[in-house]
Amino acid sequence: MTEPRWDGLIVGAGLATLDGEAYGAIEDGAVAWSDGVLTFVGRRDELPGDAASLADEVIEARGWITPGLVDCHTHAVFAGDRAVEFEMRLGGASYEAIARAGGGILSTVRAVRAADEDALFEASRPRVEALMRDGVTTLEIKSGYGLDFENERKMLRVARRFDGDGLTVRTTYLAAHALPPEYAGRADEYIDAAIDWLPRLHAEGLVDAVDAFCEGIGFSPSQTRRLFECARALGLPVKLHADQLSDLGGASIAAEFGGLSADHVEHTSEAGVAAMAAAGTVAVLLPGAFHVLRETRLPPLELFRKHGVPMAVATDCNPGTSPLLSLRQAMQLACTHFRLTPEDALRGATTHAARALGLADRGVLRVGQRADLTLWRVRHPAELCYWLGGDLLDASWVAGRRRS
């Protein structure tokens, strides 16, 4: 019998496998992989006696290992910033009023349109690197600040450029984010255009999912449905900015299309929650936007629990409502504002976030899953949600390759 060969083996750290209750915790653990896939997850004393000689590299570690973090909702590709709007909001202006006056999303659209592809990449890189430095190994990035064919394409191409050895990037087409000025008063025609661009961008391999902003200052339920029909015809999954500022039934629309997720969901009704449960749609909580907008309306957390809707946690990294560069900080905010337990927040940023992206190969530590691992300098996994900021990451491996 040929002996198994392992490319890598880490011993000594605790494992928050998230496979089972109480973090699926294993103290003094061992995790091994071959060809980027986990081949052993268990206690060190369960390893075969000759384990050290089976592995090309053996790493003695301290601290805790979790699955690599998955940030399942970001707008990390953009140019410029909106610090002035932050000041205006603190002075009393609302997010909606600023948007209606031509600021908000449209202000970032102007900055993105003015930047060429390389400049947009360089402007976005520090944000992507910051997210990676705090443990993210899989990152969703949306378009939605281009709002015409060439600029949506530019954003998606930049997002794809971040995909590589050290990071998986999933791209989401969000042309239905705001109405560009050249379509003022013609939202239906703009949706026609967005529907026209989608298959062309998909043919270039730039689109993994389709999203929309279904809201009074965004697009209506019927416009959202028309776009989603097109996604369905192309076999693309959908997700939705749903019920953030008001209840337009967005969660139910996401569910109607078998959506991967409904995101924000502060105003979602019980009917919406039940529809999500029936469709297997994940609720993506975005406590950064809740925090920055100083919202008071909590998402229906008890209803999500009652109906068994998994809750993911993401940064929503964007220049307007959530200039948040750490998924761990988003987990902290989810605990503080939404009373998630640290364990729920960790599952939200791994297991459930992976599901919100349709990725079944990651988000728990289990044999057969991708070897996306993060090693943290902590004594207990709850510390990941306890510290506000800080530098807890010791090292990460992406498909078994050490990144830092």
Gap between the Cα atoms of 31 and 10, Å rounded = 5
> Dihedral of the CA atoms 139, 59, 391, 66 (nearest 10)?
50
Determine, following the binding rule CB under 5 A, whether residue 316 of this chain makes contact with Fe ion. yes
Q: Is 145 annotated for ligand binding?
A: yes
Taking CB within 5 to 8 Å according to partner kind, which of Fe ion, ligand NIG, none is near residue 105? ligand NIG
Q: Which of residues 175-204 bind Fe ion (CB under 5 A)?
A: none
Shorter beta-carbon distance to ligand NIG: residue 322 or 374: 322
Q: Does 73 show up as a binding residue in the annotation?
A: yes
Which is nearer to Fe ion, 202 or 241 (by Cβ)?
A: 241
Taking the complex as a whole, the smallest distance from the CB of residue 244 to Fe ion amounts, in Å, to 8
Beta partners for residue 29, in sequence order: 43
Stretch that binds Fe ion, among 78-86, 159-167, 309-317, 357-365 (CB under 5 A): 309-317
Cβ of residue 213: shortest distance to Fe ion, in angstroms? 8
Q: Is 320 among the annotated ligand-binding positions?
A: yes
**Residue 244 near which of Fe ion, ligand NIG, none (CB within 5-8 Å, type-dependent):** ligand NIG
145 vs 190, which CB is nearer to Fe ion? 145
Q: Is the Cβ of residue 29 or residue 299 nearer to ligand NIG in the bound state?
A: 299
Residue 235 CB, nearest distance to ligand NIG (Å)? Answer: 25
Distance of alpha carbon 214 from alpha carbon 130, whole angstroms: 29
8 binds, among Fe ion, ligand NIG, none (CB under 5 to 8 A by kind): none
Q: 386 a known binding residue?
A: no
Tell the residue number behind the tokens 């071959």, with chain if given: 34
* 75 annotated among ligand-binding-site residues: yes
Q: How far is the CB of 105 from ligand NIG (least distance, A)?
A: 5
Residue 80 CB, nearest distance to ligand NIG (Å)? 10
Q: How far is CA 78 from the centre of its chain?
A: 16
Give the 3-state secondary structure of residue 24: helix
Closest residue to ligand NIG, judged by C-beta, is 320
148 binds Fe ion (CB under 5 A): no
Q: At what angle do helices 117-133 and 149-161 cross, to 10 degrees?
A: 40
Partners of 393 in the beta sheet? 376
Give all strands (DSSP E) within 261-359, no chain letters: 261-264, 282-285, 311-313
Binder of residue 321, out of Fe ion, ligand NIG, none (CB less than 5 to 8 A by kind): ligand NIG
The minimum distance between CB 375 and ligand NIG, in angstroms, equals 31
Taking every pair of Cα atoms in the chain, the longest distance, rounded to a whole number of angstroms, is: 72
Which residues 6+ apart lie within 8 Å of 137 measured at CB? Answer: 68, 69, 70, 166, 167, 168, 362, 372, 374, 396, 398, 403
**Burial of 401: CB neighbours in 10 Å, binned 0-12, 13-18, 19+:** middle
Q: Is 71 in the site for Fe ion (CB under 5 A)?
A: no
Contact between residue 26 and residue 364 where contact means Cβ atoms under 8 Å apart: no
Output 314 or 398, the one with its CB closest to Fe ion: 314
Residues that bind ligand NIG (CB under 6 A): 75, 104-105, 108, 213, 241, 244, 289, 316, 318-322
- Give the separation between CA 195 and CA 70, rounded to whole angstroms: 29
∠ CA 150-151-152, nearest 5°, is 95
**For residues 35 and 111, what is the distance between their CA atoms, to the nearest angstrom?**
42
Query: Which residue numbers belong to the known binding site for Zn(2+)?
Result: 73, 75, 241, 316
Query: Which residue numbers belong to the known binding site for Fe(3+)?
Result: 73, 75, 241, 316
Q: Which residues bind Fe ion (CB under 5 A)?
A: 316
